[in-house]
Amino acid sequence: MSLYGVMRTGVSGMNAQSNKLSTVSDNIANVNTVGYKRASTEFSSLILKSGSGNYDSGAVETTVRYAITDPGNLQFTTSTTDLAVQGNGFFVVQDANGNNFLTRAGSFVPDSTGNLVNTAGFQLMGYNIQNGAAPNVSANGFGGLQVINVNQMALQASPSTTATVAANLDPSAALVGTPAAAAGPGNYTSKTSMVTYDNIGNAVTLDVYAAKTGANTWDVEVYDPSGAALTSGPSAATTFTFDVTAAGKGALAAASTKSLTVTIPGGSAFNIDMSAMTQVASAFDFKATVDGNAPSAVEKVNIDAKGVVTAVLKNGTELPSFQIALATVPSPDHLTPEVGNVYSPNLDSGNVQVGLAGQGGLGTIQSGALEDSNVDLADELTSMIEAQRGFTANSKSFQTGADLLDVVVNLKR
């Protein structure tokens, strides 16, 4: 047995326990870091070949592992842009140089330009779904992603293009004019209005007139604010007939007109879907759901479980604008930790797979919550004591080897 080998083995043991103490210290320091994943030091022996009559002491090697797949508890907050992933997956973020990383740290807030950034300065990435666009997902890469910016959602005007009407016309109403008379300001049974928006967001009120021109037959006309007719009736395009048989029960007849199409002054073609209109024994009723909106500032931002970022404007309009991307790798525990509580893929972790929340095995997104560190403080303090005792014992074996070497040296004296 070599006394030098004894001392080298002691040094190896002290280095190994120092590594363990380093991971314990890091864990304790980050016990309150959002999305932090606990590091641990694992030991393996390095054995040297020995003869039958002597033993050559070896060493101990350490491997640092990260419990990245071990989720932390959720801590709920009052900010809708605080995000946590429930289940598998990571947020995709970008640094100032345009490099993409993965993270579970979801404490995002808008910066001075409106970009959502977390406490480490990484920008949240997602897909632009403004104007109803579908997310253009690249499953094996970060293509199509862009920084989510809440300022882009403000002051956007969308022209009205569609209205869905749920209405009832009173069957007991008297006939108005002659069967050929068109409905209008001077000739109508019922009247209502709809607020629409032109191409630059101006509100345009459209007046809708309905005139009963015959048994179960109505003429419906649309007028602009100046009093000009936008429809041309009475004609087949503006005449609505109802089926009052046992089969129809007051719904529109099969051969009846089902919709009207007009052009909003200063706006776009506007389709009014009236397929749900009825004529049953009840008073006149008219409800319309109209798309489009006037430009308005963003009052708040809502994020649902699928990661859809919706801007709620001060005028009450809700605009879905972005969808947050989630990503994963085949072996998340082998990801490489980087500065800022983010991770980058490597050969051991496998390639990045990008998708949307709730799809392809990815988890959902919880708004108004943050994922706590998965560090157990009691376990770490216990590990600290173990590392301290182990270091002390290894130092004793080193000291003993050194003392024995002194005895050998002193034999010559």
Which is higher by pLDDT, 394 or 210? 210
Cα–Cα distance for residue pair 356/326, rounded to 1 Å: 6
Asked whether 124 and 107 are in contact (CB, 8 A), the reply is: no
CA-closest candidate to residue 309, choices 159, 116, 123, 141 = 116
Question: How far from each other are the two terminal CA atoms of the chain, in whole angstroms?
Answer: 23
The pLDDT-based confidence of 275 (bands split at 50, 70, 90) is very high
Least confident of 130-144, 241-255, 337-351: 130-144
Region 7-17: what's the mean pLDDT? 84
Output the pLDDT for position 108: 94
Output the pLDDT for position 322: 93
**Is residue 248 scored above 70 in pLDDT?**
yes
The pLDDT-based confidence of 413 (bands split at 50, 70, 90) is low
- Other CB atoms within a 10 A radius of the CB of residue 30 amount to 17
**Is residue 58 scored above 80 in pLDDT?**
no
Output the pLDDT for position 50: 64
DSSP 407: H
Q: Give DSSP secondary structure letters for 304-365.
A: -TT-EEEEEETTS-EEEEEEEEEEE-S-GGGPEEETTTEEE--TTT---EEEETTSTT--EE
Output the pLDDT for position 11: 84
CA-closest candidate to residue 41, choices 65, 25, 60, 61 = 65
**How confident is the model over 152-207, as pLDDT tens digits?**
766 677 899 999 999 999 999 998 866 667 888 988 999 999 999 999 989 999 99
Asked whether 92 and 108 are in contact (CB, 8 A), the reply is: no
Asked whether 13 and 60 are in contact (CB, 8 A), the reply is: yes
Question: Strand 162-168 and strand 269-273: pairing?
Answer: parallel
- Other CB atoms within a 10 A radius of the CB of residue 320 amount to 17
CA-closest candidate to residue 9, choices 291, 313, 399, 410 = 399
To the nearest 10 degrees (0 to 180), the angle between helices 3-29 and 377-410 is 160
Output the pLDDT for position 114: 87
Output the pLDDT for position 53: 65
Q: What angle do CA 250, 178, 171 make, to 5 degrees?
A: 20
Structural domains of the chain in order of their starting residue, each with its CATH number = 3-70+374-410 (no CATH), 74-156+297-371 (no CATH), 162-290 (2.60.98.20)
How many residues would you count in the chain? 413
Element (H, E) at 58: none
CA-closest candidate to residue 50, choices 13, 14, 11, 9 = 9
**Is residue 117 scored above 70 in pLDDT?**
yes
Output the pLDDT for position 155: 67
Residue 388 CA to chain centroid, in angstroms? Answer: 44
Asked whether 68 and 343 are in contact (CB, 8 A), the reply is: yes
**Is residue 1 scored above 60 in pLDDT?**
no
Residue 212, helix vs strand vs coil = strand
pTM: 0.69
Residue 113: both structure tokens together: 């330009």
Judge if the upstream peptide bond of residue 234 is cis by omega within 30 degrees of 0.
yes
**How confident is the model over 310-347, as pLDDT tens digits?**
988 877 778 888 999 999 999 999 999 999 999 999 99
